[in-house]
Chain A
Amino acid sequence: MNQALGSDSISYTRRAMDALRLDPVLLSLLIILALFGSMVLYSASGSDQAIVIRQMTRIVVALILMIAIANIPLRMIRKISIWLYLAGVAMLVAVMFFGEVGKGAQRWLDLGVLRFQPSEILKLAVPMIVATYLANRVLPVGLKELVVSSILVLIPVLLIARQPDLGTAILVGSAGFFVLFLAGVRWRVMISLGVLMSLMAPILWKFALHDYQRNRILTLLDPESDPLGSGYHIIQSKIAIGSGGVYGKGWLNGTQSQLDFIPERSTDFIFSVFGEEFGFFGSVVLILIYLAIIFRGLYIAAHSTENFGRLLAGALSLTFFVYLFVNTGMVAGMLPVVGVPLPLISYGGTSMVTLMMGFGLIMSIRSAKRFLV
């Protein structure tokens, strides 16, 4: 009896999920992560409830948007991708001329009612357009497809890089690259491009860059050479993480984080707060949760019935991985400092919304196959 009731309620949930075209596995992982994140944020913000409430409001808004997108039929998503892409690029150009300067970079567009970063749109629009373009072509991609796709990716990436916003440029660029990679760019093409680029690099380094640009890149690669600037973040971040030990100092007990030694501790450097308070054990658990999300995305990609879905779901999941890798790598002092947030945990609205919309797309892809079967 009990058992029957249990299975009844499970199947009821499942039916509700199906009706909303949601993936229960992905959804529960995302919610676990977001709740976990709010907890870390509470500690990182110095027990500031207002910040946590604001962040949770964003999570709710982002979840609603995700559900909305999950309910857009895949055919429609394919159709709008070109317009989304064109609108995004147009707005990037607009930012170049009329954008607002914040923290030394020109990223924001003020539309009167709302202010946002057009570069966020491209995080979705770029993989969408490349996947749309390649979906009907013969795979593996030929030379023409490779050239066209590369141009589609490079236009927005260069526009974003010159804002300058290196972090977003990397994310948009890798999203586009992953579509191409999944569509089967031949190894020899990738290897020769890689070789070509590493040959070009020293030449560009020597002739195309100003002294100050070279210095900026050098500090980027070796932040500890600039201890008054970004190196300070790294030194303090390493102390915080390292002092966490195996099990951490406990929630709200991180001395480095609580004493304000870690700059940007609620945004890009929130992982160092996490590492200090939850230790190596917590870090492993956190990374496993992330890995589960990524794998679920890749699984949905593999089981999609058409190329568009396979390419898009795969690329979006891998971009999510790039967020994770670049952020944790940076905080742990093994990668240069570029502004990439820890996905779904760092404080801030824009990346949260874009990421959730991306998962909305993945869920739409998952549901699409059901209609075909």
Chain B
Amino acid sequence: MSKREQLKDDFLENRLIRRRLVLSAIFTVILLSLVLGRLYVLQIVEHEHFSTLSDSNRVRIKALPPTRGLIFDRHGVVMANNLPAYRLEIVPEQVEDLDSTLLQLKQYIDYTEQDLKRFKQSSKRRRPFESIPLRLNLRDEEVARLAVNLHRFEGVEINARLTRNYPQGAHAVHALGYVSRIDERDLSEVSEVEYAGSTHIGKLGLEKFYEHELHGSVGVQQVEVNARGRTLRVLNESPPVQGNNLHLTIDSRLQKVAEEAFAEYTGAAVAINPNNGEILALVSMPIFDPNLFVNGISYDNYNALRDSIKRPLFNRALSGQYPPGSTSKPFYGLAGLEGAITTVEKDVYCIGYYKLPNEPRRYRDWKKQGHGHMDLNNAITQSCDVYFYDLAYRMGIDRMSEFLAKFGFGVKTGVDSTSERNGLLPSREWKRRAEGMPWFPGETLITGIGQGALLVTPLQLANSTAAFSVKGQRYQPHLVKSVEKVPEYNLIDIASRVAGRYELQSEKNWQHVHDAMVNVVHGLRGTAHRISQGMEYRAAGKTGTAQVFEIAQDEEYDEETVAEKLRDHALFISYAPADAPQIAVAVIVENGGHGSSVAAPIARRIMDAYLLEES
């Protein structure tokens, strides 16, 4: 038997293949009969049904856009909701001559070239019987003017649709972000089906980051329409599901206080609860009204915002990168003690400048005549640069960077928003990579007072301060406290995540630096002594000044003569109450001069509002 199988027998093989061919032929006939059977059912048995559908024409599928989720602050104040607004919409299929209709409409409703472009774009994407918005947010008089003439325009409709609204206006805009009209690029990132009925999408900030929570899911309506496209009856409907609501960690009252405290200054402030990473206020000044963007901002408005010298669209709190200046000193001080590079008793004599061995250049102290004898406590309290030049020289850039990294310098905090930047933590390796140059000892010195290449974002600085205030436990800061899931409306808390933890060698080291920071505010010689007046709690802090441009060796910085935009940035970091911190704040005032006079009062205002005026 097996032998016979080894031999090739063309007769047997031919018979086998033929048998299979015949079998296949039978299969094809059977399967094609099934298709014909199906066609028989459709075309003959159910012909009446389909014929009616086809004649009365026309079953159409409409996408029902979901209602976007609401955004509340931590106490339930509405930050973003949806209000009905009138839209001018056109159903292209019902319009005889689209171009002339558009031209005639212009007499009643003013729309821009951009509106028209967007209309044409969407009409390519949507089916011809779907209504496509030409202009959003019609004013009452526009509605009135068009309504009386509407009968002249076949296929033109005025519809009221829910539109995103930010009742707080410009307040907290840099925390919330905004929604705006969907464009082609957005569509490549989302499911086209889910957005089939949607006209808006989160473009920035929370609105973008939590787009998947806020959007909801699309509904579908199968309707029958008459020959003119009017809906006769709904055949089938699955309603859209509303998006989830967000409850923020932001306290809108605190946010407003902080924004007002800046008055005319530009800058940023971030307040964080150091015990869980909740962001209590996130301010970038100046602010702008996000409602402008929702319905397509006009060119004039946009150009004004874009070209404003104060750059209101720039989110300084997350994307602004500044040298931390002297606010870095507490971290270096702790690094010195922890690494046994300096001691509490170590005394440096400050003569107003510092010189590296074998180098003629003088590294100046901000106080020209010098501070005299300085130990660590005094060096922080009075912000002596020479002490920290000396410390940096002995610590070296590698250990400095390594220590700062443990407090979150140089990496994104991972906040739940868009456009956060890294800051910059310089190191030998970074310099070789970025500039192809070796690291110079002088750079270690200026990094040691928070200048040079070292950069932080206000959020980073606030978060590092928060981590310092609780002895090294660093959280991932977040803006959303909980997500309210529809339709059950149950709150899902966003858990606080620990981003890193620095283990102290000795708690005494931390205590020492902490005491010095309390001295900055409450000590008689503290650089922020002024804000302690009438303070009902104890706070720890550190002032800072960040140079915007470098002064030549033989020149002096004269605040009066320097143009405003080249003036130094003022910084202040702080936390309070000193013995059990509930809030940590970082404030940066651009071109504000000294940290003590401009930035510190803003921080105090924020802490007062949070600690004393709790709502």
Q: Do A and B associate with each other?
A: yes
A255 to B55, CA, bound (A): 8
Chain B residues within 8 Å of A184, by CB: 13, 16-17, 20
Contact with B along A89-118 (1 / 0, CB 8 A): 000000000000000000000000000000
Interface hits, B163-212 → A, CB 8 Å: 193, 196
Number of interface residues of A (CB under 8 A): 56
Chain A residues within 8 Å of B53, by CB: 239, 242-243
A227 to B63, CA, bound (A): 9
A232 touches B43 (CB 8 A): no
Chain B residues within 8 Å of A310, by CB: 14, 17, 21
A246 touches B63 (CB 8 A): no
Stretch among A9-17, A41-49, A320-328, A361-369 lining the B interface = A320-328
A280 to B34, CA, bound (A): 14
Whether A260 touches B5, Cβ cut-off 8 Å, given contacts A178-B24, A227-B61, A243-B51, is: no
Interface residue B112 (Cβ < 8 Å from any Cβ of A): no
Interface residue A256 (Cβ < 8 Å from any Cβ of B): yes
B43 touches A279 (CB 8 A): yes
Interface residue A133 (Cβ < 8 Å from any Cβ of B): no
Interface hits, B16-50 → A, CB 8 Å: 16-18, 20-21, 24-25, 28-29, 31-32, 34-36, 38-40, 42-44, 46-47, 49-50
Nearest CB on B from A304, distance (A):
9
Whether A238 touches B17, Cβ cut-off 8 Å, given contacts A181-B24, A291-B29, is: no
B63 touches A228 (CB 8 A): yes
A73 to B431, CA, bound (A): 69
Residue of B nearest to A310 (CB): B17
A240 touches B32 (CB 8 A): no
B193 touches A242 (CB 8 A): no
A182 to B18, CA, bound (A): 8
Interface residue A355 (Cβ < 8 Å from any Cβ of B): no
A280 touches B43 (CB 8 A): yes
A239 touches B59 (CB 8 A): yes
Nearest CB on B from A30, distance (A):
18
A87 to B34, CA, bound (A): 38
B38 touches A332 (CB 8 A): yes
A228 touches B43 (CB 8 A): no
Q: Which one of B44, B55, B193 contacts A228 once the chains associate, using CB atoms below 8 Å?
A: B193
Chain A residues within 8 Å of B42, by CB: 238, 241-242, 275, 332-333
A81 to B14, CA, bound (A): 22
A159 to B25, CA, bound (A): 30
A360 to B438, CA, bound (A): 70
Contact with A along B59-91 (1 / 0, CB 8 A): 101010000000000000000000000000000
B54 touches A240 (CB 8 A): yes
Interface residue A261 (Cβ < 8 Å from any Cβ of B): yes
Interface residue B396 (Cβ < 8 Å from any Cβ of A): no
Chain A residues within 8 Å of B309, by CB: none
B43 touches A245 (CB 8 A): yes
B59 touches A325 (CB 8 A): no
Whether A242 touches B35, Cβ cut-off 8 Å, given contacts A228-B220, A235-B59, is: no
Interface residue A208 (Cβ < 8 Å from any Cβ of B): no
A244 to B54, CA, bound (A): 10
A259 touches B21 (CB 8 A): no
Nearest CB on A from B135, distance (A):
25
Whether A245 touches B44, Cβ cut-off 8 Å, given contacts A138-B8, A235-B59, A325-B32, is: yes
A70 to B117, CA, bound (A): 54
A260 to B16, CA, bound (A): 50
B39 touches A283 (CB 8 A): yes
Interface residue B603 (Cβ < 8 Å from any Cβ of A): no
Chain A residues within 8 Å of B55, by CB: 243, 255
Q: Which one of B5, B47, B61 contacts A235 once the chains associate, using CB atoms below 8 Å?
A: B61
B17 touches A255 (CB 8 A): no
A287 to B17, CA, bound (A): 25
A318 touches B28 (CB 8 A): yes
Interface residue B597 (Cβ < 8 Å from any Cβ of A): no
A314 to B51, CA, bound (A): 41
B24 touches A332 (CB 8 A): no
Whether A329 touches B35, Cβ cut-off 8 Å, given contacts A228-B193, A291-B29, is: yes
A242 to B16, CA, bound (A): 42
Interface residue A311 (Cβ < 8 Å from any Cβ of B): yes
A241 touches B39 (CB 8 A): yes
B36 touches A284 (CB 8 A): yes
B36 touches A302 (CB 8 A): no
A255 touches B54 (CB 8 A): yes
A325 to B222, CA, bound (A): 29
Number of interface residues of B (CB under 8 A): 47
A138 touches B7 (CB 8 A): yes
Nearest CB on B from A302, distance (A):
5
B54 touches A298 (CB 8 A): no
Q: Which one of B47, B57, B220 contacts A245 once the chains associate, using CB atoms below 8 Å?
A: B47
Residue of B nearest to A241 (CB): B42
Q: Which one of A295, A307, A332 contacts B39 once the chains associate, using CB atoms below 8 Å?
A: A332
Nearest CB on A from B3, distance (A):
11
A227 to B222, CA, bound (A): 9
Interface residue A194 (Cβ < 8 Å from any Cβ of B): no
A176 to B433, CA, bound (A): 54
B17 touches A182 (CB 8 A): yes
Interface residue A226 (Cβ < 8 Å from any Cβ of B): yes
Chain B residues within 8 Å of A147, by CB: none
Nearest CB on A from B70, distance (A):
25
B61 touches A244 (CB 8 A): no
Chain B residues within 8 Å of A329, by CB: 35, 38
Nearest CB on B from A134, distance (A):
10
Interface residue B218 (Cβ < 8 Å from any Cβ of A): yes
Chain B residues within 8 Å of A64, by CB: none
Chain B residues within 8 Å of A324, by CB: 32
Residue of B nearest to A283 (CB): B39
Q: Which one of A182, A238, A246 contacts B50 once the chains associate, using CB atoms below 8 Å?
A: A238
Whether A295 touches B47, Cβ cut-off 8 Å, given contacts A139-B17, A228-B63, is: no
B196 touches A228 (CB 8 A): yes
Nearest CB on A from B29, distance (A):
7
Interface residue A68 (Cβ < 8 Å from any Cβ of B): no
Nearest CB on B from A108, distance (A):
19
Interface residue A67 (Cβ < 8 Å from any Cβ of B): no
Chain B residues within 8 Å of A139, by CB: 12-13, 16-17
Q: Which one of B14, B21, B39, B193 contacts A226 once the chains associate, using CB atoms below 8 Å?
A: B193
Chain A residues within 8 Å of B193, by CB: 226, 228-229
A181 touches B20 (CB 8 A): yes
Chain B residues within 8 Å of A291, by CB: 28-29, 32
Whether A314 touches B17, Cβ cut-off 8 Å, given contacts A241-B39, A280-B43, is: yes
B32 touches A314 (CB 8 A): no
Interface residue B538 (Cβ < 8 Å from any Cβ of A): no
A332 to B37, CA, bound (A): 10
A235 to B59, CA, bound (A): 9
Q: Which of A139, A228, A235, A261: most chain B CB closer than 10 A?
A: A228
Interface hits, A208-261 → B, CB 8 Å: 226-229, 232, 235-236, 238-246, 255-256, 259-261
Residue of A nearest to B28 (CB): A321
Interface residue A183 (Cβ < 8 Å from any Cβ of B): yes
B5 touches A138 (CB 8 A): yes
Whether A280 touches B40, Cβ cut-off 8 Å, given contacts A181-B20, A243-B53, is: yes
Show 30 A/B contacts (Cβ-Cβ < 8 Å), sorted by A: A139-B12, A140-B16, A181-B24, A182-B21, A182-B24, A183-B17, A226-B193, A228-B218, A235-B59, A236-B59, A239-B54, A240-B54, A241-B42, A242-B46, A242-B51, A242-B54, A243-B50, A243-B53, A244-B43, A246-B44, A246-B47, A256-B54, A284-B36, A291-B29, A301-B21, A307-B14, A325-B32, A332-B35, A334-B34, A334-B38
Other A-B pairs, 6, CB within 8 Å; known A275-B42, A334-B38: A283-B43, A284-B36, A295-B25, A301-B21, A307-B13, A329-B35
Binding site for B on A (CB under 8 A): 136, 138-140, 178, 181-184, 226-229, 232, 235-236, 238-246, 255-256, 259-261, 275, 279-280, 283-284, 287, 290-291, 294-295, 298, 301-302, 307, 310-311, 314, 318, 321, 324-325, 328-329, 332-334
The 5 closest A-B pairs by CB, nearest first: A242-B50, A243-B54, A280-B43, A242-B42, A139-B13
